[in-house]
A = this chain, B = another copy of it.
Amino acid sequence: MAYSLAIHGGAGTMSRAQLTPEKELLYHKALENALKVGEDYLINGGSALDAVEFTVRYLENVDLFNAGKGSVFGNDGKHEMEASIMCGRTLNAGAVAGIKNVKNPIQLARTIMVESEYVYLHGIGAENFAKNYHIPFEDDFYFFTQERFNQLNAIRDSDKVILDHTDVDYKFGTVGAVALDKLGNLASATSTGGLTNKKYGRLGDSSIIGAGTYANNATCAISCTGYGEYFIRSVVAHDISCLMEYKNMSLQEASEVVVKDKLVKMGGEGGIIGVDKNGNISLTFNTEGMYRGYTSEKNPKLVTKIF
């Protein structure tokens, strides 16, 4: 098989006016570097699982995206993160939600998948699991970014979690990667810091297998970014897979039905990235933009786009 890789860094209503040329360049550069990380695994015969884990780890370590280091602040001034990963060959999965101070939530999700009899861990219990497996932690200062802190302070005393604002980062910040490796195996990974000013231990779709993340060698690997509540109710990632498996749609057709028809009718803004078992890539969104990139063995150019 020829490998394929696609990534996203969140979708939403973006304003060209707000995104300075300098900042736009930073985003393109970060997406390109992330693609290089994943591509390196895939070129050298690495697994799709390794490619998506380490690509997402890279995106978690950049403070431009709402995941890992760049996670937004919850209402309590803390960073509560979620992540999940799935293997299309075995349908094994690992997911983690409501964790604080874990440097790379996707690494924890992978470790849960591999080392635990469980699939889905949350909160302090998940952090204890992480400590037992020597997953790196960082202090609050590591996750502090002035811009995110300003975003919280602008709405902290209100009940708002989502501003009617042109900055995407208030909205659907998430990172994700999907890959097909040379052995024909698919994998998907998603990670997020959730919503600015979120309360009550809110969880989104990024840690939910079927909603934000799904992979199945019979069909495709999908990672989502969007208004999590709608993505949960629509079981988005699994729905795309089912349309392919049960209605013989192509990845692109299935993605468009779910993202541009079903989600739009509900009011669910966001997008998906997907790779199918033949290496075809879909980057489909119903918002103004989505930070995204892709590359493949057939077209080895590293393509990154925002709008």
Contacts and interface: CB of A to CB of B under 8 A. Distances in A.
A117 B161 contact: yes
Interface of A: 86, 91-93, 95, 97-98, 116-126, 128-129, 161, 198-204, 208-211, 214, 228-229, 232-235, 238-239, 242-243, 246-247, 266
Residue among A98, A121, A124, A204 having the largest count of chain B Cβ atoms under 10 Å: A98
B242 A202 contact: no
Contact of A238 (B120, B123, B235): B235
B209 A120 contact: no
A235 B235 CA distance: 9
B93 A201 contact: no
Contacts of A121: 200-203
Query: Which secondary structure dominates where chain A touches chain B?
Result: mixed
Given A91-B266, A211-B209, A200 B238 contact: no
A125 B161 contact: no
Nearest to A234: B91
Nearest to A92: B233
A123 B80 CA distance: 12
A200 B232 contact: no
A116 B233 contact: no
A118 B210 contact: no
A143 to B, nearest CB: 18
